[in-house]
Amino acid sequence: MLTPSVFQLLLRTTFLQIGLALSMELACLAQVFQEGVVAQLDPPLVAKSFSDRGDRVLWEGRIPYSDDSIYMRIHFTSITASTGTDYTVVVRGTDERELARYTSKQFSRDSSFFTEVLFNQGAIIQVEQTKNGRPVVGLSFRIESIIREINPRGRFAPQSTVPDWQYFDSLSLGKERPYFPLLVQSLRQASGAVAKIFTGDGAVCTGFLISQSDLLTSYHCIEHSTKFQETRDQSEPLCSDVRVYFDFYGVLQQGEGTQTQCLKVKKRSEKEKLDYAVIEVPSKEIENKRLSKYSKFLRAGVTDSPKREFLTLSSRPIEAMEEVFVVHHPGGLQEAVSFCRLYAGQSAYPEHDCSTIGGSSGAPIIDSKGEVVALHSKGGYDDKMTVREINLLLTQGKVFRNGAISLQKILEDQKRTAP
């Protein structure tokens, strides 16, 4: 828990250290980042006949190598399977190292299936016979497209301001400072609760745990889920194409971090209103944190398998000006923290000057007590504005601030719409 006076000291000292003034905003309004692109396979891979080649592999298809991306997600469509058919779908990298394995129950639950995030530049997909040796009957599927991460070079396009967030892998605050023990408690808790969200069209955002299995993010992020769009008329739409990635620090390899799947959208308010969504994830899969092996800050004095904590939501009104911090995935990159101020009193839509860009939407804005007081929603610059126009307005005294949603208003909305 941070006291306001101590938090103000932190804010001043942090910006003196890194030599940057409080920044306004870098990019567009709704801060979704289109990190991935949908790449069509020509010709598509089609699986409809299966025969054992002598090593229990019944079918194999290959996705070409691409040297300009770090990860991919494979989209299986037109899945059909007879009841009781037992098989395993295995995805391997170009070096034939196993990346993921799915049971027939996991794979054929729906007519389409997205893999987890696979850190490889190509893939080998295999259908394996299970140990019971039963023939695979009635199975067929197609792979017409994949999502590839775009080249990360140039993903930042600063518009007259400089990013002033700090990555957790390089975060160093100094034990000699009086606020250190208080700050560590809030930052470590927030770091484990915040996740990077991958949607089915390649867009990425930020979200955070508010219970053991519920995650809060921006509604306009979930709108990028293809499964949500297909089922949005249901009371609890599905979101199986969305992957939620906790412990996303630095350059990851397959098996690092903690991935899980979005199960359903439990609550929502459209972007024209309060612009939030509560999604459900399997609690057992995310129970333990995986600490970054590079971050001395996160690992100092912590056990090897700490339990993941969720964040506390504040129902109080926002003060005229508050010292806060945001934990987010700017540009879809590793987890970072920005220290800043939150403005606007009783408004349902407070403003803030935290340094954020695309990928930051859905991030928690956390107060001096370590509680979430607002949900980051949008940037301060209109994405149609040029750098020249922005600079001109800045010289004329124009102040650009980001947009947020008051947690007090979100909690009131949830009570009002509860069954």
Q: So what CATH class is 4-33+155-417?
A: mainly beta
Q: What is the tens place of the pLDDT at every residue in 167-187?
A: 888 777 655 444 556 777 888
pLDDT of residue 395: 86
Indicate whether 158 pLDDT > 50.
Answer: no
- DSSP state letters, 107-147: HTSSS-EE---B-SSSEEEEEEE-TT-PPP-S-EEEEEEEE
What are the structure tokens assigned to 171, written together? 């975060």
Condensed to tens digits (0 to 9), the pLDDT of residues 357-393 reads: 889 999 999 998 899 999 999 887 776 777 788 778 8
CA distance 276 to 354: 19
Judged against a pLDDT cut of 50, whether residue 407 lies above it is answered with: yes
Is residue 345 very low, low, confident or very high in pLDDT (cuts 50, 70, 90)?
Answer: low
Q: Please report the pLDDT score of residue 329 as a whole number.
A: 94
Tens digits of per-residue pLDDT, 31-72? Answer: 788 888 899 999 999 999 999 888 899 999 999 888 877 899
Q: What is the pLDDT of residue 93?
A: 93
pTM, whole model, 2 decimals? 0.85
The predicted structure's pLDDT at residue 68: 76
- The CATH code for residues 36-149 is 2.60.120.380
- Which whole-number Å values give the CA distances from 31 to 100, 159, 329, 381, in the listed order? 30, 15, 11, 11
pLDDT of residue 35: 87
Q: What is the pLDDT of residue 5?
A: 39
**What pLDDT score does 253 carry?**
67
pLDDT of residue 152: 56
d(CA 161, CA 135): 61
Q: Give 160's pLDDT tier (boundaries 50, 70, 90).
A: very low
Query: Cβ(298)–Cβ(250) under 8 Å?
Result: no
> Residue 301: pLDDT band by 50, 70, 90 thresholds?
low
Query: Encoding tokens for residue 17?
Result: 């250290």
Angle at 171 (CA atoms; ends 361, 19), nearest 5 degrees: 85
List the domain boundaries for the chain.
4-33+155-417, 36-149
DSSP 319: P
Q: Where residue 16 falls among pLDDT bands split at 50, 70, 90?
A: very low
Chain mean position to CA 340: 21
* % of the chain residues with pLDDT over 90: 50
CA distances from 5 to 9, 13, 18, 339 (A): 7, 13, 21, 14
- Of the candidates 224, 333, 239, 325, the residue with the CA atom closest to the CA atom of residue 278: 239
